[in-house]
């Protein structure tokens, strides 16, 4: 049991030390400021692309809503026109139903 815990402690310490050594050598191999600058640039361009796509989707939804509204208004107008024509052309039939 003690040997197992000791082995686990050594493995964790070795992993932590290797990560620290890797991070110390990282600035020599990669320019950190350029890396961060490119990441921020990619993030900003991604957000701009997302907002542009959302505006385009909003346009499509607005056009679809206007088409549906126009269709509903035309159907309502035709329905009222049919009722008016029926009242004018057949006035006796409507009075008997009421």
Cα dihedral 38/44/45/48 (nearest 10): 180
Burial (CB < 10 A; 0-12, 13-18, 19+), residue 37, is: exposed
Q: What is the tally of structural domains in the chain?
A: 1
Q: Residue 95: enclosing H or E segment and its boundaries?
A: helix 91-97
Q: Is residue 55 part of a domain?
A: yes
As a whole number of angstroms, the distance between CA 34 and CA 27 comes to: 11
Mean pLDDT within 39-58: 96
Q: Is residue 14 part of a domain?
A: no
Residue 46 clears pLDDT 60, i.e. is over it = yes
Mean pLDDT within 26-50: 86
Q: Is residue 90 part of a domain?
A: yes
Q: Is residue 82 part of a domain?
A: yes
Q: Is residue 4 part of a domain?
A: no
- Residues listed for the chain: 98
| 90: containing domain | 27-97
> Given this model, what pLDDT does residue 95 score?
60
Q: Is residue 39 part of a domain?
A: yes
Contact 32, 26 (CB under 8 A): yes
Q: Is residue 11 part of a domain?
A: no
Residue 26 clears pLDDT 80, i.e. is over it = no
Q: Which of 7-16, 61-70, 89-98 has the lowest mean pLDDT?
A: 89-98
What is the chain's mean pLDDT, rounded? 89
């Amino acid at each position: 049991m003690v040997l197992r815990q000791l082995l686990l402690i050594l493995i964790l310490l070795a992993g932590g030390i290797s990560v620290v050594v890797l991070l110390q050598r990282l600035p020599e191999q990669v320019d950190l400021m350029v890396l961060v600058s490119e990441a921020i640039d990619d993030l900003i361009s991604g957000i701009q692309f997302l907002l542009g796509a959302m505006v385009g989707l909003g346009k499509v939804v607005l056009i679809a809503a206007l088409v549906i509204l126009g269709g509903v208004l035309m159907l309502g107008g035709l329905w009222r026109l049919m009722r008016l024509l029926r009242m004018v052309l057949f006035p006796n039939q409507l009075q008997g139903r009421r």
